[in-house]
Amino acid sequence: MKRKIGVYICHCGGNISDYVDVEKVRQAAAKEAGVALARTMEFACADSSQKEIAQDIQEGAVDSFVVASCSPKLHLPTFQSVAERAGLNKYQYVHANIREQVSWAHSDDKEGATAKAVQFVRAAIAKVRLAKAIEPIEIQTQRAVLVVGAGVAGMKAATSLAKMGVNVYLIEKEHFVGGRVSQWDVLCITEETGKDLVTRFYIDVVANQNITLFTGAELVECSGSMGNFTVKVRITPRYVKDICEKDRMRRAIEVCPVEVVDEFNFSITKRKAIYHNFPSQYPLVAVVDMKHCTRCGKCEKECEKIDFSQEEKVVELKVGSILVAAGFDPYTPKNGEFGYQVYDNVITLPQFKRLVAISDTELKWKGRPVQTIAYIYCVGSRQLEGENKYCSRYCCLTTICAAIKAGEKFSGLSHFHFTRGIRTYGKYETFFYEASKRGQVFLQSFEDDPPQVTQKDGRTLVRIHDILTSRREVEVDADLVVLVTGMVPRTDGRIGEILKLPRGRDRFYNEIHMKLRPVETVIDGVTIAGACRGPQNVVEAINSSLSAAIKSYSFVRRDTLAIEPIVAEIDPDACTWCEACAKACPFDAIARDASTGKEIARVNTPVCKGCGMCLPVCPANAIQLRTFSDEEVQQMIGVLAHEL
């Protein structure tokens, strides 16, 4: 079929035309076979330019077109929409990136940049000559969403989705909701406690009939695709059926003879084998820790709700989208890092916050009064050597707030902050000013000259070369050293492995684009929220959860869902099922199919991402990728390899 191709070359307000001779590019494009018209535009993405392209299509001047402008990440959907509004199949449009890949990359060589832009446009024209009209793949959707993680981000996302009329399955691996926030006392941003915030969110969750909450629940299997996932969730029993009457549960806990370290208090206290942190955790039902329980039977005598006959079970759920709010872990310092686990009065920031929360009239550590506290910042963040080169963002603010609250609760404390520069971004600078006004001392060192922690004659000394006083050596005799630890990804990464979620360089789950698609992942139908996508404070985590909820809702709000048709296709006559394609597929989208009597590969099109990993490994060349067929790619390579 003879094409009538339109070529539109963008000046991009000088971003392209300052470094590329766009008129020369236009002239070269106009000479290509099948090109009916070639134009330059000041801003191709402007409404007036979009209307001009649409008019050319509607008047029959073009039946396919190329736009040479900026990154397709920005405007591929823009011009696909132009095609659809004008009545043209959107896959009969090809985008050429001559800004990021040409003008910005070769701003010092206009002649060379122009020649490269001509080649890019000619290659796009070669591809669009072979472009075929293809239609989106439609799938039936399940009007339900699985939310993984019942911290504040997960609970807020669940209630937001439920209010939009969606059935929500909220699963939490621990037996209590609230995540890290339930462990904090006063939240400096809102002036309420972590318990208050968790209580509000938990009440909203249990009050909404559209939400089914599973605690002690872990995602163990996931299959299917956006709109129609099948997930399996393993539920570990609590071995306690309900709330005991009056104080019988407290007595059941008291008589338990087994004591283990309490993870809720970051191991600074101990708990029983049957436990509940009253009143900070929900649900208000205790849990028996069967790893440590000796089945002595003493707790059963105190509370009839204890039931050791409960068994682990696996439930299967069908959902249209999955929202992951798996949270974070505080960084655990290495043995000997700033004296950690070497000196008994060196603790982490989470431990300090719990110590302040559970102490009554006097601040003590291991029976000794605490008067002077040294805070060492950026432990586990901004590392010169190590994995955590990022700033955890929340640590400076949290530490300063914790120091202020400790000073308000216990009189006579002296606070010394050993920093690498304070980062209380935005309006939170006021907390830094407040701490300074209260007499707290801030010292600063260079990255390559951190504070030193030593012990001498039973005293713990923290020494720094303070750059705020011209590198004067300052030494503090500290009763307690608090290591300000940052955020790191959860050590248990099985959720990411099951869902095949990619990670960024910081090892947190990776969104597609931090500005354009901030909560979406490359796995269609799976969104991320909260601190599992990177260090965040409570407000930021909640905001991201609302964004993820809206996006997840967009996947399930209709009965059917149209998904991208750029997928792999199998030639059944050529395929001999050698399994190479299935092994190469990172999304498990290819399986063996013997339904026709011959073993061949079958592509699960809703799961296929069109990545092309299966194509080069096929020895029979039995696989093609829609819109990127061998013929199309070969034509583009031929153009790019041809010298002008």
Q: Is residue 289 part of a domain?
A: yes
Could you give the CA distance from residue 636 to residue 102 in angstroms, rounded to a whole number?
Answer: 17
Number of folded domains that form the chain: 5
Lowest mean pLDDT among 348-362, 546-560, 595-609: 595-609
Q: Token pair of 517, please?
A: 């698609």
Average pLDDT over residues 462-469: 95
Summarised one tens digit per residue, pLDDT across range 327-385 is: 999 999 999 999 999 999 999 999 999 999 999 989 999 999 999 999 999 999 999 88
Q: Where does a domain end: 134, 157, 177?
A: 134
Q: Looking at the structure, do residues 494 and 435 belong to the same domain, yes or no?
A: no
pLDDT at position 641: 87
- Are residues 72 and 192 both part of a single domain? no
Q: d(Cα 511, Cα 528) in Å, to the nearest integer?
A: 7
DSSP H helices, 130-247, are 152-163, 194-207
Asked whether residue 362 is assigned to any structural domain, the reply reads: yes
* Percent of the chain with pLDDT strictly greater than 70: 99
Query: What is the pLDDT at residue 73?
Result: 84
Helices (H), 324-414: 349-358, 395-409
Per-residue pLDDT, 507 = 94
State the CB neighbour count (10 A cutoff) for residue 428: 18
Burial class (CB in 10 A: 0-12, 13-18, 19+), 18: middle
Give 139's strand partners. Answer: 561
Please tell me whether residue 265 adopts helix, strand or coil conformation.
helix
Cα(4)–Cα(125) distance, rounded to whole angstroms? 11
Residue 500: CB partners within 8 Å, gap ≥ 6? Answer: 523, 586, 587, 588
Q: Which amino acid is at 627?
A: T
On whether both 467 and 496 belong to a single domain, the answer is no
pLDDT confidence of residue 501 = 94
Q: Can you give the pLDDT at residue 1?
A: 59
- At 182, list the tokens: 């339930």
Q: Which residues of 561-579 are buried (b: 16+ CB within 10 A; e: fewer)?
A: bebbbbbbebeeeebebee
Q: What is the CATH number of the domain that holds 19?
A: 3.40.50
Whether 44 and 187 share a structural domain: no
Q: Is residue 127 located within the same domain as residue 186?
A: no
Each residue of 148-199: pLDDT tens digit?
A: 999 999 999 999 999 999 999 999 999 999 999 999 888 887 778 999 999 9
Please report whether residue 345 resides in a domain.
Answer: yes
- 634 lies in a domain? no
> Are residues 580 and 442 part of one domain?
no
With beta carbons less than 8 A apart as the criterion, state whether 570 and 603 touch: yes
Q: Give the residue from 134, 152, 185 where a domain finishes.
A: 134
Within a domain: 344 = yes
Residue 644 has pLDDT above 60, yes or no: no
Same domain, 295 and 320: no
Is 36 inside a domain boundary?
A: yes
- Expressed as residue numbers, the domain containing 13 is 5-134
Q: Where residue 605 sits, what CATH number does that domain have?
A: 3.30.70.20
pLDDT, one tens digit per residue, over 423-455 is 998 888 999 999 999 999 999 999 899 999 999
- Report the relative pairing of strands 259-261 and 270-272 from DSSP bridges: antiparallel
| pLDDT tens track for 395-428 | 999 999 999 999 999 999 999 999 999 999 888 8
Burial class of residue 37 in the structure, from the number of CB atoms within 10 Å of its CB (0-12 exposed, 13-18 middle, 19+ buried): middle
471 and 367 in a common domain: yes
- Asked if residue 19 and residue 29 are part of one domain, the reply reads yes
Task: Label residues 293-312 b or e (16+ Cβ within 10 Å = b).
Answer: beeeebbbebbebbeeebee
Written as one string, the DSSP assignment of 534-545 is S---HHHHHHHH
Among 440, 471, 487, which residue terminates a domain?
487
- Kindly state whether residues 173 and 320 are assigned to the same domain: yes
Burial class (CB in 10 A: 0-12, 13-18, 19+), 628: middle
pTM of the model: 0.84
In angstroms, the CA 95 to CA 71 distance is 8
Q: What is the mean pLDDT of residues 128-153?
A: 94
Please name the residue ranges forming H helices in 391-505.
Answer: 395-409, 429-437, 494-499
Report whether 509 contacts 355 (CB < 8 A): no
| 184-216 CB burial, b ≥16 within 10 A, e <16 | bbbbbbeeebbbebbbebbebbeebebbbbbbb
pLDDT digits (tens, 9 = 90+) for 233-292: 999 999 999 888 768 888 999 999 999 999 999 999 999 999 998 766 899 999 999 999
Q: Note whether residue 470 is domain-resident.
A: yes
Q: What 3-state class would DSSP assign to 331?
A: coil
Residues 523 and 594 both lie in one domain: no
The chain-wide mean pLDDT, for the chain, equals 94
CA 206 – CA 171 distance, rounded (Å)? 13
Q: Are residues 65 and 121 in the same domain?
A: yes
Is residue 643 very low, low, confident or very high in pLDDT (cuts 50, 70, 90)? low
Please give the backbone phi and psi of residue 30, each rounded to the nearest 5 degrees, phi first. Answer: -65, -25
User: CA 525, 531, 536, 539 torsion: positive or negative?
Assistant: positive
Strand spans (E) along 420-500:
441-444, 452-456, 459-466, 472-478, 480-485, 487-488
The domain spanning residue 181 has which CATH number?
Answer: 3.50.50.60
Tokens of 91: 């896959």
Do the domain assignments include residue 241?
Answer: no
Strand 228-235, strand 217-225: pairing? antiparallel
